[in-house]
Chain A
Amino acid sequence: MIKTLKLKTKISLSIIVSAIFLTLLITVSLYFYLNKKLVNEKIINITDLGIEQVEESDLIFKNNLLFAEMIGGRTRVVEYLSNPTKDKQEEITNIFSSYAKKDNKYLALYLLDKKGKALVSTDPAFIGQDYSFRSYYKEGMKGNSYIDLLLGKTSNQFGYYFSYPVFDEKGNIIGIFVSKVSNQEIDSNILKSRASQENTIMLVDKYGVVLSSNKPDRFLKSIGELTEIEKKELVDSQKYLTNEIKSLQYNQVQELIRIGEISKTMKIKDKEDGETEIININKIGNFPFYLISEVGLETISGLIMRLIIILLLLIFFGVIIAGYILYKLILYTLSPLKEFKFYTEKISSGDFSQKMEINTKDEIGDLAQSFNYMTSELNNLYINLDKKVEEQTKEVSNKSKELEEQKLAIMNVLEDVEEEKNKTELLAKDLEKFKLAVDNASDQVIITDNEGIVIYGNRAVERITGFKPEEAMGKKAGTLWKAPMPNEYYEDMWYQIKDQKKVFISEIKNKRKNGEFYIANISISPVIDNEDEVIYYVAIEHDISKEKEIDKAKTEFVSLASHQLRTPLSSINWYTEMLLNGDAGKINTEQKKYLNEVAIGNQRMVDLVDSLLNVSCLDLGTFIIEPEAVNIKEMSQSVVNELKPQIIAKKIKIEEKYDSNLGEFKADRKLLRMVFQNILSNAVKYTKNEGIINLEILNLAAGDKFGQKEIEKDSLTIKISDSGMGIPASQKDKIFSKMFRADNARESETEGTGLGLYIIQSIVNQSGGLIWFESEENVGTTFYVVFPLSGMKKKEGDKKLD
Chain B
Amino acid sequence: MNNKNKVILVLEDERPLLEAIKLKLEKNNFEVVTVRSVEQAKQYVYELEKVDGIWLDHYLIGKESGLDFVAWCKEDDNTKCKNVPIFVVSNTASSDKVSTYMSLGAKKYFIKSNHRLDEIISEIKESLSGDSNI
- Chain A residues engaging chain B, CB cutoff 8 angstroms: 555, 558-559, 562-563, 565-567, 569-571, 573-575, 577-578, 581, 583, 606, 609-610, 613, 623-624, 798-802
Contacts and interface: CB of A to CB of B under 8 A. Distances in A.
Contacts of A574: 17, 20-21, 24, 116-117
A613 B90 CA distance: 15
A613 B114 CA distance: 14
Contacts of B94: 555, 558-559, 562, 798-800
Contacts of B112: 566-567, 570
Contacts of A583: 23-24, 27
Contacts of B58: 563
Contacts of B111: 566, 802
B91 interface: yes
A786 B80 CA distance: 53
Provide the main secondary structure of the chain B interface: helix
Contacts, number: 74
A596 B97 CA distance: 32
A570 B58 CA distance: 14
5 contacts: A566-B93, A566-B111, A570-B112, A574-B21, A577-B116
A566 B98 CA distance: 16
Interface residues of B, number: 26
B20 A800 contact: no
Contacts of B96: 798-799
A425 B14 CA distance: 74
Nearest to B119: A577
Nearest to A555: B94
B95 A563 contact: no
Contacts of A798: 94-96
A562 B58 CA distance: 12
Contacts of B113: 566, 569-570, 573, 606, 609
B16 interface: yes
B30 interface: no
Interface in B89-116: 90-98, 111-114, 116
Interface of B: 14, 16-17, 20-21, 23-24, 27, 58-59, 90-98, 111-114, 116-118
Contacts of A567: 14, 17, 91, 112
Nearest to A573: B113
Given A569-B113, A571-B14, A571-B17, A577 B118 contact: yes
A605 to B, nearest CB: 9
A571 B23 CA distance: 13
B12 to A, nearest CB: 10
A563 B92 contact: yes
Contact of A573 (B27, B59, B116): B116
A558 B117 CA distance: 25
Nearest to B24: A578
A577 B117 contact: yes
B68 to A, nearest CB: 16
A639 to B, nearest CB: 17
B26 to A, nearest CB: 10
A571 B20 CA distance: 8
Contacts of A570: 17, 91, 112-113
Contacts of A801: 95
Interchain residue pairs A-B with the least CB separation, the first 9: A800-B95, A566-B91, A570-B112, A566-B113, A574-B20, A563-B92, A606-B113, A563-B91, A570-B113
Nearest to B58: A563
Contacts of A559: 92, 94, 97
B51 to A, nearest CB: 23
